[in-house]
Amino acid sequence: MASIFGARELGFSQTEMIGCFLMIQAVAFFGALAFGYSADRFSHKKSIAWTLGVYIGVCLWAFGMRTKGQFWVLGAVVGLVLGGSQAASRSLLALLTPPEHSAQIFGFFALTGKLSTVIGPVLFGALAQIYDLRTAVLSLSAFFAAGLGILYFVREPTSPPTPLH
């Protein structure tokens, strides 16, 4: 979705997009390390909430973005929270999951991730077709806000589940 937006709205070439995505992946590595520390120090839930808030801000910023430079800066911000949100989410799920159900829960987690890679782009494309790319990007903030709302009701355990023997 970002590559379509970058190419159509900002005139990025394929080479520029590849460079930007490589930068995002490099920053994501450091973001995962930083958010791992944050999750240990503050909590997994707070770290995830922070990343969701940043993603909402990214969507709002992208809606008004006009330059390639802004896209690169926004890409770095996305990279920072990309690795962190994934790592903190898996860690929180591990804390919440009873060991005897870990295969089922993590299987379901993987399935929902794969479903989102289908449903998200289809919905994004439909909204871009009906409205425009900027409105489609802005609409993504509603999904992040919904995730933040659901996260509010998650009770983070004070100790990890007892391992099976």
Give CA–CA dist 77/57, Å, rounded.
10
- Please check the confidence at residue 165 and state whether its pLDDT lies above 90: no
Task: Say which CATH number the domain at 31 has.
Answer: 1.20.1250.20
Question: Structurally, how many domains does the chain consist of?
Answer: 1
- Whether 88 is covered by a domain: the verdict is yes
Let me know if residue 135 belongs to a domain.
yes
The answer to the question of residue 157 being in a domain is: no
Q: Does residue 64 surpass a pLDDT of 70?
A: yes
Q: Which pLDDT belongs to residue 160?
A: 61
What average pLDDT does the chain have?
92
Question: Closest Cα to residue 33, out of 77, 95, 83?
Answer: 83
User: What are the tens digits of pLDDT across the range 104-129?
Assistant: 999 999 999 999 999 999 999 999 99
Q: Indicate whether 163 belongs to any domain.
A: no
CA distance 6 to 156: 38
